[in-house]
Amino acid sequence: MEGRIPVLGEKLENRQVKTTHGVINFPDDYKGKWVVLFSHPADFTPVCTTEFVAFQKRIDQFKELNCELIGLSIDQVFSHIKWVEWIKEKLGVEITFPIIADDMGEIAKSLGMISPYKGTNTVRAVFVLDPEGTIRLILYYPQEIGRNIDEIIRAVKALQVSDANKVAIPANWPNNELIKDEVIIPPASDVKTAAERPKQYDCFDWWFCHKKI
């Protein structure tokens, strides 16, 4: 549906897309990997350039999380290629992840990346997909505000820890003000479990228990 923002837990529809690395099936070609799909308003713009450099500088951290990056804007693939060349030549940074050329705007519209109140370019959207292609996290930034790439890395890591341990992740993890790098045990759903929780874990109360992983 055009203009609709997908919801968490929804699987991204597979489609063939043009990228700076050739035509790919997205997200099927990434099955088994986590993916950060992020849109930017336009090539050859200052804030977008800083973001691409920041993503590339941290690409090894994403790789360690079995996570791939893929950019997107409504520019043509020729523009993407030239912009990537410019970044390498002028800034000394080689962009090694693919960029989708959504020059007809079909993908951007289907993912709600174009706001009728913010012009015709894509906003700064971020979709984190799990290895099954399911949307697990969505972030939307306006065109004038660059993203915090370290927060995106933290979010991917937190999702993986949550999935692997069936726990919840506190604010500012792993530097939470109350429990530091520990994680939160899901609240008890019956009286017996509630009574046992404080005997099993460190707790502020039966509904707020935490542990190290």
Rounded distance between C-alpha atoms, residue 41 and residue 122, angstroms: 5
Rounded distance between C-alpha atoms, residue 198 and residue 183, angstroms: 15
Q: Which residues contact 107 (CB under 8 A, 6 or more apart)?
A: 15, 17, 72, 100, 113
- Cβ atoms of 124 and 140 within 8 Å: the answer is yes
58 is in an annotated binding site: no
Rounded distance between C-alpha atoms, residue 93 and residue 21, angstroms: 17
Rounded distance between C-alpha atoms, residue 37 and residue 100, angstroms: 10
Query: Catalytic site residue 48?
Result: yes
State which amino acid sits at residue 170: P
Catalytic residue among 48, 67, 203, 209: 48
Would you call 67 exposed, middle or buried from its count of C-beta atoms within 10 A (0-12, 13-18, 19+)? buried
- DSSP class per residue in 7-54: -TTPBPPPEEEEETTEEEEETGGGTTSEEEEEE-S-SS-HHHHHHHHH
> Residue 183 has which token pair?
């994680």
For strands 67-73 and 99-101, give the pairing: parallel
Residue list, annotated binding site: 124
Residue list, annotated binding site for substrate: 124
Catalytic residues: 48
